Amino acid sequence: MREKYAKNTGSDEIDDWELCELISSLKSKNRFKRLNALFIIENLNDKRLIEPLIELTKENDRATKEYALYLLAKIENHVLCGDKVIKAFIDALNDENPSIRSYASLVLGDFGDYAAAKPLILALKDEDEGVREEVMNALSNILISMGTRRVAGKI
């Protein structure tokens, strides 16, 4: 089914009408339709999907939210989407579900963006020990990333 949405050229890009169809499915009230659309777009890495995915991170459905966060992280790694994606993960640090807070910490650490440092420091007070451990790892990764950038800038 994924092949229906990718051009025969093997490209990760899709046509505008295909994108509209997928975004419509992402906005559906039907959970399974949303999850199926998420599954289809997993290998697309298309910047045009950023906004609809960010909206899905605000859903009450845990599976939808987790999958949307996963895809945002994956797209971010390919196309460097920037502040909006990082903000979505910072917002996820306040989610009621500890697994989502933990995943958000993990991804923010992988991004290595200094903008996440303050929210992560605040998350050190999280009630869940696993989340706090992931937050400490994320902060370490950000500090390492900052040092690497400073050294790389001097070479």
Handedness of CA 18, 20, 24, 26 (dihedral sign): positive
Q: What is the pLDDT of residues 70-117, one digit of tens each?
A: 999 888 665 566 788 999 999 999 999 999 999 999 999 998 888 899
Helix (H) or strand (E) holding 79, with range, is helix 62-79
* 67 shares its domain with 88: no
Residue 10 has pLDDT above 80, yes or no: no
Band of pLDDT at residue 148, cut at 50, 70 and 90 = low
| Average pLDDT over the chain, rounded to an integer | 85
Residue closest to 50 by CA, chosen among 14, 25, 80, 21? 80
Residue closest to 5 by CA, chosen among 51, 52, 39? 39
Q: Comparing 65 with 145, which gets the higher pLDDT?
A: 65
**Interval 5-14 mean pLDDT:** 47
Band of pLDDT at residue 119, cut at 50, 70 and 90 = very high
Q: What is the pTM of this model?
A: 0.76
Residue 9 has pLDDT above 60, yes or no: no
Residue closest to 18 by CA, chosen among 40, 51, 42? 40
* 44 shares its domain with 99: no
- Which of 47, 63, 81 is the C-terminal boundary of a domain? 81
The predicted structure's pLDDT at residue 150: 59
Domain span holding position 155: 83-155
* 67 shares its domain with 7: yes
- Which of 54, 81, 108 is the C-terminal boundary of a domain? 81
